[in-house]
Structure 1
Amino acid sequence: MKSISCFGVQLTPDTIAVAMVYFVQGVLGLSRLAVNFYLKDELHLDPAETAIISGVSSLPWLVKPLYGFISDSFPLCGYRRRSYLVLSGLLGAFSWSLMATIVDSKYGVAFCILLGSLSVAFSDVVVDSMVVERARGESQTVSGSLQSLCWGSSAFGGIVSSYFSGSLVGAYGVRFVFGLTALLPLITSAVAVLVKEQPLHGSARGLILSDSTACLGSSKNSLLQLWDAVKQPNVFLPTLFIFLWQATPQSDSAMFYFITNKLGFTPEFLGRVKLVTSIASLVGVGFYNGFLKGVRLRKIFLVTTVIGSVLGMTQVFLVTGLNRKFGISDEWFAIGDSLILTVLGQVSFMPVLVLAAKLCPEGMEATLFATLMSISNGGSVLGGLIGAGLTRLFGVTKDKFDSLTFLIILCNLSSLLPLPLLGLLPENTADDDSDIEMKSN
């Protein structure tokens, strides 16, 4: 029987399981638009409160190395990978089932979204470790093909969810979308049986579970090695820049309230915008890999940050209605603006992944990379919380947008603040000859 390949990778049951988990991560974006409308229309929260809940839901992504340690050190039912994939899927299904049925307060929503985020983050770490294990000892071509399969699966899931997210909210309501979303993590649980993993029996299993002293000692040594690596100036200083670069405030929640409450954008239309931005993100990755891999990191950060700050100001046109004076409708302007900013955003984020990968010393690549990305995610969470504080400070609410223009200008100008610290970055090209894997959460 002839084997089937995708992205140059033979589709064995094991690789199908990995690809399906990444697909689920992408398609779970189905609920994102529904959550925003639920917080705005049914719980009647202000933009600042919505931004805070969004930041809280990202907290599980800040401790990704912990999940890797748990999965490696404490097997469930004799398995390090299968059992945790099953558990992650069940946790995700449970959290979205609660959202679809009994949750009716902002605290309940925050808790359920937090559980759902934990489910995705844990499964992400598990399949990342599986990819590392499969790629170990393989050629760069095979490794790159495996990464392409993972990213392609996630991107396809994101595009599918973008296409249906808005229309489902408009036709059936947010509770229906939450219920549909609850079914998706069960795919992760189901494909866990395809994972090729030998169960730990007898002495091997007992050794891991019983020798807690040795386990704690090994953990302490790993933490010391991690700290020794992070505190090195060639790692700490670039990491500090990434954190500060990600920690600049954002006005996304305030803009969502404006375009829905003031401009009257429907869920169906916003779903189409989300589809455009999902495709645009792929364009951004392709543009980076095709034209910018040999450009110095400092130059990419400088140019993309300045251009992003300038183009981000175009949202002021939408807020003030200036686009209509040029004969451009709000809908078309929003689509074009989102497309351009998404491409630029992906191009500017790719060097973060490249830099994080280059900072990892041999022997602890996976742990340090997860740590650096957790720090980067921490910067994004902080930026969202600062944005929430500024939104409240400027008095922007669900039906008052008098100061939204000033909020947008301040947030965009603040993105320039880390530029004087560009000297913290290494003086080298973005990528010499390696393939880049792009994974967004």
Structure 2
Amino acid sequence: MNNRLLRVFCLSSAVYFTQGIETLPSQGLFYYLKESLKFTPEKIMLISGVITFAWLVKPAIGYIVDNFLNKKIWILISLSCSALLAAVIGSNHLPLAFLVGMLIVSSAWAAFRDVSVDGIMCVEGKQHNATGKIQSVQWISISVATLITGIGGGYIAEKWDYTTGYLCLIPVYIIAGAFAYFYNAGEPIRRETASKFIQDMKTLLGSRRLVWAGLFVFLYQFAPSFGTPLLFVQKDVFKWSKVWIGALGTIGTVFAVIGALLYFKFSQKINLKKWLFFSVFLGAATTLSYLHYTPATAVAYDIVYSLMGMFVFLMILDFMARNSIPGLEAASFALLTSLSNLAVVASNFCGAFLLPVLGLQGLIVMSSAASFLCLFIIPKIIV
């Protein structure tokens, strides 16, 4: 491994670890909405979708990152702003509307950071035929952070609340900033106004391969969501403690790391077309399995599906990186990932709407059926 690629691994690890640790307050925030404000699953799902709005406009963020300053500077700016927002949110219980607004802004800066480091991944990864390896390292790092948040987040939710979780993030932002500061960006700081916006948009939207890839990514990721209702089952039906729910997430994350390590090893050898086709049927089957949801199967599902899910997820990210456009890596990769994020938000909204109509079991069946929407596109995107 050359030194340049090693530096990319280190920066990617630091940024993605930060992205993972940012979920530390999420359990406390969930219980605040559920227990203090008495919100229903549907309302919590809607709020979750609104908070992630910035991740739907990542192509615009990618264009800014590609054309102004440089990716290293944007990472430093986003970390500084995230630390400031964490201090404000952690200082007191804010009114709900103000809290949601702050979370939207915080999510936006996280999206800037994500787009910047992914742009570096696309450029460096394609040069060294290592997009899959870099993404594996990224998601191993985010998974290690999730190991911490699984137990730590549950403990914070049990003993304190989400405000404490946000205050704990501030030192992490500072340390990640140090990693970014000492990274050699290898690109100039651009201060001129971007003058090729229309031309670049034509390049992005005129690429038939990119358009088909985007449609595939959206349909592959879209399925009415039922994750939040399952959390209600764990807490209200199974009577699990907050710490145990967090611990179960940690156990699943250990197996997600194994899945990432497997993709690191095999990413350059697998046949993407065959594996993507197979994963559609696998996803439909695993979704249907949630029709039988007991304390025992909940643990088994979390373990097995975490491993398989990470492998498949990295395969999709690798596919997106390989289809990024030279010179517009941050914008084109961000376009594909924003469509993925749009599918997740649409899944949340769709699940929130359908849950009262279909019930949990009907929602699971509907989600499984939606898995097959993307099948007809696979031949068009991978020859």
Q: TM-score, normalised by structure 1?
A: 0.75
Query: Alpha carbons of 1:364 and 1:180: their partners in 2 closer, same or farther (altered >3 Å)?
Result: closer
Letter of the aligned partner of 1:184 in structure 2?
V
- Asked if structure 2 preserves the Cα contact closer than 8 Å seen for 1:96 and 1:112, the reply is no
Verify: 1:258 aligned to 2:244, yes or no.
no
Q: Provide the C-alpha distance between the structure 2 equivalents of 1:17 and 1:301, rounded to a whole number of angstroms.
A: 29
Letter of the aligned partner of 2:360 in structure 1?
L
Q: In structure 1, what is the equivalent of residue 49 of structure 2?
A: 55
Per-residue displacement from partner, 1:91-127 (whole Å, max 9, x unpaired)?
2223333332344444333222212211211112223
In the TM superposition, 1:227-242 aligns within 5 A as 227-229=205-207, 232=208, 234-242=209-217
Q: In structure 2, what is the equivalent of residue 412 of structure 1?
A: 368
- Asked if structure 2 preserves the Cα contact closer than 8 Å seen for 1:249 and 1:383, the reply is yes
* SS, match of residue 206 in structure 2: helix
Q: In structure 2, what is the equivalent of residue 23 of structure 1?
A: 17
Q: CA deviation at 1:90?
A: 2.8
Letter of the aligned partner of 1:219 in structure 2?
F
Q: Provide the C-alpha distance between the structure 2 equivalents of 1:226 and 1:295, rounded to a whole number of angstroms.
A: 27
- Asked if structure 2 preserves the Cα contact closer than 8 Å seen for 1:297 and 1:425, the reply is no
Q: Provide the C-alpha distance between the structure 2 equivalents of 1:414 and 1:198, rounded to a whole number of angstroms.
A: 43
In the TM superposition, 1:144-293 aligns within 5 A as 149-196=137-184, 208-209=191-192, 212=193, 215=194, 217-229=195-207, 232=208, 234-288=209-263
Q: Provide the C-alpha distance between the structure 1 equivalents of 2:187 and 2:2, rounded to a whole number of angstroms.
A: 29
Q: Provide the C-alpha distance between the structure 2 equivalents of 1:350 and 1:153, rounded to a whole number of angstroms.
A: 13
Q: Structure 2, unaligned stretches of length 5 or more? A: none
Query: Alpha carbons of 1:291 and 1:92: their partners in 2 closer, same or farther (altered >3 Å)?
Result: closer
Q: Provide the C-alpha distance between the structure 2 equivalents of 1:113 and 1:64, rounded to a whole number of angstroms.
A: 17
- Asked if structure 2 preserves the Cα contact closer than 8 Å seen for 1:88 and 1:122, the reply is yes
Q: In structure 1, what is the equivalent of residue 302 of structure 2?
A: 338
Q: Provide the C-alpha distance between the structure 1 equivalents of 2:123 and 2:220, rounded to a whole number of angstroms.
A: 32
Choose from 55, 59, 65 the match for 1:65.
Answer: 59
Q: In structure 2, what is the equivalent of residue 109 of structure 1?
A: 99
Query: Alpha carbons of 1:104 and 1:408: their partners in 2 closer, same or farther (altered >3 Å)?
Result: farther
Deviates most, 373-382 or 10-19: 10-19
Choose from 63, 77, 85 the match for 1:87.
Answer: 77
Q: Provide the C-alpha distance between the structure 2 equivalents of 1:14 and 1:304, rounded to a whole number of angstroms.
A: 29
Q: CA deviation at 1:223?
A: 1.4
Letter of the aligned partner of 1:36 in structure 2?
F
Q: CA deviation at 1:345?
A: 2.2
* SS, match of residue 316 in structure 1: coil
Q: CA deviation at 1:12?
A: 8.7
Q: CA deviation at 1:304?
A: 2.6
Higher-Rg structure is: 1
Q: Structure 1, unaligned stretches of length 5 or more? A: 1-6, 324-329, 395-402, 429-441
Q: Provide the C-alpha distance between the structure 1 equivalents of 2:151 and 2:236, rounded to a whole number of angstroms.
A: 22
Per-residue displacement from partner, 1:125-169 (whole Å, max 9, x unpaired)?
2233445566686x447x777665544433332323223221222
- Asked if structure 2 preserves the Cα contact closer than 8 Å seen for 1:246 and 1:379, the reply is yes
- Asked if structure 2 preserves the Cα contact closer than 8 Å seen for 1:250 and 1:386, the reply is yes
Choose from 64, 89, 103 the match for 1:99.
Answer: 89
Q: CA deviation at 1:288?
A: 4.7
Query: Alpha carbons of 1:350 and 1:15: their partners in 2 closer, same or farther (altered >3 Å)?
Result: closer
Letter of the aligned partner of 2:351 in structure 1?
G
Q: In structure 2, what is the equivalent of residue 46 of structure 1?
A: 40
Q: CA deviation at 1:281?
A: 1.7
* SS, match of residue 224 in structure 2: coil
Query: Alpha carbons of 1:427 and 1:136: their partners in 2 closer, same or farther (altered >3 Å)?
Result: closer
Q: Provide the C-alpha distance between the structure 2 equivalents of 1:418 and 1:146, rounded to a whole number of angstroms.
A: 26
Equivalent residues, number:
383
Query: Alpha carbons of 1:12 and 1:416: their partners in 2 closer, same or farther (altered >3 Å)?
Result: closer
Choose from 314, 322, 332 the match for 2:289.
Answer: 314
State the superposition RMSD in angstroms: 3.3
Q: In structure 2, what is the equivalent of residue 399 of structure 1?
A: none
The structure, 1 or 2, with the larger RCO (C-alpha pairs under 8 Å, 6+ apart) is 2
Choose from 28, 31, 34 the match for 1:34.
Answer: 28
Q: In structure 2, what is the equivalent of residue 438 of structure 1?
A: none
Query: Alpha carbons of 1:301 and 1:192: their partners in 2 closer, same or farther (altered >3 Å)?
Result: closer
